[in-house]
Amino acid sequence: DADVTQTPRNRITKTGKRIMLECSQTKGHDRMYWYRQDPGLGLRLIYYSFDVKDINKGEISDGYSVSRQAQAKFSLSLESAIPNQTALYFCATSERTGGSGANVLTFGAGSRLTVL
């Protein structure tokens, strides 16, 4: 089984619908992230969580919300999807290293979302 599992892998929806993307991990990492990938724009951080009670906005959080249900679960919601949210979404995890080391991310396989 994958260390970081994302569901669904593919989703097509209509404008205005509520969508939830789910992420679970078996690595035991404290930190979890949601990124969005668009052609020509690379990976952009939507939200991140350093533990269950800590949620932080990234650079493009408008239109998104998250929930950290447990150390191993971090979900991303689009309350009212719009076409420019069509993208590939990645969940990632990392381990706290005391703030003195590189933050190495482990990514899931991605969730491709299409909003019509």
Partner 1 sequence: QKEVEQDPGPLSVPEGAIVSLNCTYSNSAFQYFMWYRQYSRKGPELLMYTYSSGNKEDGRFTAQVDKSSKYISLFIRDSQPSDSATYLCAMGYAGGTSYGKLTFGQGTILTVHP
Q: Rounded to 5 degrees, what angle do the CA atoms 9, 41, 50 make?
A: 65
Going by C-alpha positions, the residue among 96, 47, 53, 98 that lies closest to residue 71 is 53
Binding-site member from 72, 78, 105, 115 for partner 1 (CB under 8 A) = 105
Candidates 90, 95, 93; CA nearest to 46 is: 90
Q: Which is nearer to partner 1, 70 or 101 (CB)?
A: 101
Residue with tokens 């970081």: 4
Report the Cα 34 to chain-centroid distance in Å: 2
Binding to partner 1 by residue 104, rule CB under 8 A? yes
Nearer to partner 1, 35 or 64 (CB): 35
Q: Quick one: 73 or 79, whose CB is closer to partner 1?
A: 73
CB of 80 to partner 1, least distance (A): 27
Strands 42-51 and 54-57: antiparallel
Quote the tokens at residue 93: 């995890």
Binding segment for partner 1 (CB under 8 A), chosen from 16-24, 43-51, 60-68, 71-79, is 43-51
- Residue 31 found at the interface with partner 1 (CB under 8 A): yes
The residues that touch partner 1, with contacts defined as CB under 8 A, are 4, 31, 35, 40-45, 48, 50, 58, 90, 92, 94, 99-105, 107-110
